Amino acid sequence: MKSVASKIDVHAHYLPAGYADELRGAGLVNPDGMRGYPQWSPESALETYDKLGIATGVLSISSPGVHYGDDAAARRLARRVNEEGADSVARFPARFGLFAELPMPDVEGSLEEISYALDVLHADGIALKTNAWGTYLGDPRFDRIFDELNRRKAVVFIHPTSPGCWKDCAMGYPRPMIEFPFDTTRAVTNLIFSGTLERCPDIRIIVPHNGGTIPMLAERITRVGAAVALGPVNKGDAMSYLRRLYYDTALAASSHTLLSLLQISDSSHIVYGSDWPWAPDSMVMSTNRQLESSEFFSEKDRSRIYRNNAIELIARLASLPDA
């Protein structure tokens, strides 16, 4: 059916030439405990997209991002990967979009890069990691970044990274397996109870992997937050903020995962994500099969998830061919 071949993938990663080499040179040989870095090029991505039924991939840099301890190096690397991502969009405007990377926790560098990425490169949005060297997104030191994104009514794609405590809690396992879903939950909970989402209602936020552990913990977060009066949650309880967010399907389309998500959201706030190339083809194909066979979604729901919801977030995509 047509919808299968017209997906807009909001969780599509890229690794520009030299990016992995620079991180290896900084000592990040096994990023987040993984065995290494996948290969990527625009041409290989398009070949794979055709196989996976992806019409357009909105590119972003995955964890560990661009900041490895040096602000100046992070600014330079963020600029480089953003320019290379924008070049891929310019070469293949119907096949790629771009969520630009920021050199957080460097605030001044991040504000400069927001301006360059959105005004000069015309990126479709901004990609943020769940924490920046252990500082979570709702921390007051990042208020200027979120205020600027709110002023611009930006689309923000949040991606997990290793928590600062990973050496104590990861048990030697690769952090994407367990720690990433929990760090997503930490970041979103922090955004709620810091007052950031209340203060910045015009940012449209995409949360990966169906929200990590958010759906399962949503009621607990809401009840405990209310019981101890956490944070300036003025216009509703925590659940109301969770319902505002968008959730992508990357590596999270099983029946039990979707059933939990649908307790706090619906098909109008779910968008397609693959996580390729960090997720291999076989894992993405499994996600696709689960979405196609899911009893929870009608064909109208699938059209929303695969394409229409992304177009509502990123208006530029509306003019692109759907297959």
- Checking phi first, is residue 231 left (phi over 0); if not, alpha (psi -120 to 50) or beta? left
**What pLDDT, on a 0 to 100 scale, did the predictor assign at position 235?**
46
Contacts of residue 79, defined as CB under 8 A and 6 or more positions apart, other chains included, come to 113, 116
Q: Is the pLDDT of residue 32 over 90?
A: no
Q: Is the pLDDT of residue 266 over 50?
A: yes
User: Residue 153, Cα to own-chain centre: how many angstroms?
Assistant: 17
Instruction: Walk me through the domains of the chain, giving residue ranges and CATH numbers.
Output: 2-319 (3.20.20.140)
Q: Is the pLDDT of residue 25 over 50?
A: yes
CA dihedral of 92, 12, 259, 322, whole degrees rounded to 10? 10
Predicted confidence band of residue 2 (pLDDT cuts 50, 70, 90) = very low
Q: Is the pLDDT of residue 236 over 60?
A: no
**What pLDDT, on a 0 to 100 scale, did the predictor assign at position 29?**
95
Question: pLDDT digits over 45-69, tens only?
Answer: 999 999 999 999 999 999 999 999 9
Question: pLDDT digits over 189-224, tens only?
Answer: 999 999 999 999 999 999 999 999 999 999 999 888
Contacts of residue 285, defined as CB under 8 A and 6 or more positions apart, other chains included, come to 52
What is the rounded CA–CA span in Å between residue 189 and residue 216? 13
Closest listed residue to residue 247, CA positions, set 238, 257, 234: 257
Over range 301-316, report the average pLDDT.
96
The model carries a pTM of 0.94
Kindly list the strands in the beta sheet with 96-101, ordered across the sheet, starting from the edge strand earlier in the chain.
Answer: 7-13, 54-60, 96-101, 125-129, 155-159, 204-207, 246-248, 270-271
Helix (H, G, I), strand (E, B) or coil at 197: helix
